[in-house]
Structure 1
Amino acid sequence: MTIDTWIFDLDDTLYPPESGIVAAIEARMTDWIAQRLGVEPAEADRLRHAYWRDYGGTLPGLVARHGIAPETFLADVHDIPLTGLAADPALGTALAALPGRRVVFTNGSAWHAERILRARGLTDHFHGTFTIEHADFVAKPDARAFDSAFRALDIDPTCAAMFEDSPANLRIPHARGVCTVLVGPRAVEEPFIDHHAPDLTAFLSQVGIGGFPARPRHLP
């Protein structure tokens, strides 16, 4: 199939999960909720998970239920050290070989995306970034977030591929016609997941050599 736009999630997709970045963000979220809502850490952690489940992300839940200022929350929880990240020239080379546009679509903030891409040495390999601010703080997997991104970035979903570490975030793109790739060590058998990339760099390198694999046919 012909792909002209390559969409990449950011966290735990463009860097290894073992870097500890997501765990650090989640810890800051729990601390932030405990302090701002005046609850015990265990209750704060429960709320963080509950809002993620019910609203697609902790931030949308906090906005809906408590009217918090999203900009303040994002600035605080993303203010973490990035010492666990290093530049990845091999991934940069694999990205640069992809034909067409390469964009980042993240539930994180613009500042967070900028810091991560800079730390990984990948800033110059992307043509655009769509962050939660651009989606009016609506998070994946909400269909509105995907539709906003496709409109803002002028993406034809039927000519796009999306790389994500979260299976839930691939359901809506697949329904829109996107070819979906689950990134990470664990394969998940779902009709809305077209490909599995245990190693993103290796997968993209194969794409550069032989072209993007055809969408597999799933049984209904």
Structure 2
Amino acid sequence: MQTKNAPQTPPPHPREVETWLFDLDNTLYPASCRLFDQIDRRMGLFIEQRFGLSAEEARRMQKSFFHSHGTTLRGLMTEHAIEPGDYLDFVHDIDLSGLEANPRLDAALTALPGRKVIFTNADTAHAERVLERLALTRHFQAIFDIRAAAFVPKPDEGPYDQILENHGLAAERTVFFEDSARNLKPAHARGMTTVWVRHEANWSAPPDEGDYIHHHTEDLASWLEDLQDRRG
């Protein structure tokens, strides 16, 4: 896919970047691991059990919440006053054995100057488990999770302002990597450089022209390696 802005936007010089901001799931590991499939099934099962619905009915409710509220959790909280802790513990109770350490990504992150921060719609406990499995924990100075965002998910505007303020980020010196293209739009509006880590899921693609996407890649490690090679 070619986005409107990508050909005109030069890659950032690593030494000009203060903060490298990363989404977690399907960004720091490939979507082909199918980890999010497990989470998706657990979301549906939570709704099935909580409301006594069939699997088909639960899936319709789940997708309705996602499209109208940004996340299934936000829909459950808004419309049914669900306790978020119960939900997060349930949906993240998954098998991480499919995740493996990525030496190339580890080396690419090591080479990046500046700080690295996680910005995720999941919670910190899940993020820490994933980072440990990927052997990437040491790279990240902070995790800004759904709890820190008061359970308001990306792409709502609020969490972007919060993370900038809470962690003292200069938007114009921040690069944000994200697999869901729509979550890049508020980052671009605040002056961040945006990188879409694309994959085959329909919801990964931008719902519009995507002119808020500066760069895109299917392989995060390769993009970071190329950045170092280009800039020396």
Shared topology, TM-score over 0.5? yes
Say whether 1:102 aligns with 2:116.
yes
In structure 1, give the amino acid aligned to 2:96.
L
Deviation, 1:85, is 0.4
The aligned runs of 1:36-51 (5 Å cut-off) are 36-51=50-65
Matched, 1:203 2:217: no
Matches within 5 A, 1:28-177: 28-177=42-191
Residue 71 of structure 2 aligns with an amino acid whose one-letter code is G
CA distance in 2, matches of 1:94, 1:61: 37
- Residues in 1 aligned to 2:145 and 2:51: alpha-carbon distance in whole angstroms: 26
- Secondary structure, counterpart of 1:139 in structure 2: coil
Match of 1:194 among 207, 211, 214: 214
Per the TM alignment, residue 185 of structure 1 is displaced from its structure 2 partner at its CA by: 4.4
Q: Distance in 1 between matches of 2:55 and 2:82?
A: 18
Distance 2:171 2:37 in 1: 31
Q: Is the 8 A contact 1:185 1:199 kept in 2?
A: no
Larger relative contact order (Cα-Cα within 8 Å, sequence gap ≥ 6): 2
Return structure 1 stretches of 4+ with deviation > 4 angstroms.
185-189
Distance apart, 1:159 and its partner CA: 0.8
Cα deviation, residue 150, structure 1: 1.4
Alpha-carbon contact 1:5-1:101 (below 8 Å) kept: yes
Measure, in 2, the Cα distance between the counterparts of 1:128 and 1:201: 20
Q: 2:24 touches 2:120 (CA, 8 Å); kept in 1?
A: yes
TM-fit CA distance, 1:41 = 1.2
User: Could you say what the CA RMSD is over the residues aligned between the two structures, in angstroms?
Assistant: 1.5
**Secondary structure of residue in 2 paired with 1:177:** coil
Aligned to 1:218: none
Contact 1:102 1:126 in 2 (8 A): yes
Comparing 33-42 and 167-176, the one that deviates more? 33-42
Q: Is the 8 A contact 1:185 1:198 kept in 2?
A: yes
Count of aligned pairs between the two proteins: 212
2:223 counterpart letter in structure 1: F
Q: 1:16 aligns with which of 30, 34, 39?
A: 30
TM-score, structure 2 normalization: 0.88
User: Greater shift after overlay, 99-108 or 35-44?
Assistant: 35-44
Contact kept? 1:63, 1:69, Cα under 8 Å: yes
Question: Deviation digits for residues 109-164 of structure 1, max 9, x if unmatched?
Answer: 11100000000000001111111011111100101111111111111111111001
What is the identity, as a one-letter code, of the residue corresponding to 2:211?
A: P
Provide TM-score, normalisation by structure 1.
0.92
Which structure 2 residue ranges, 5 or more long, are not aligned? 1-11
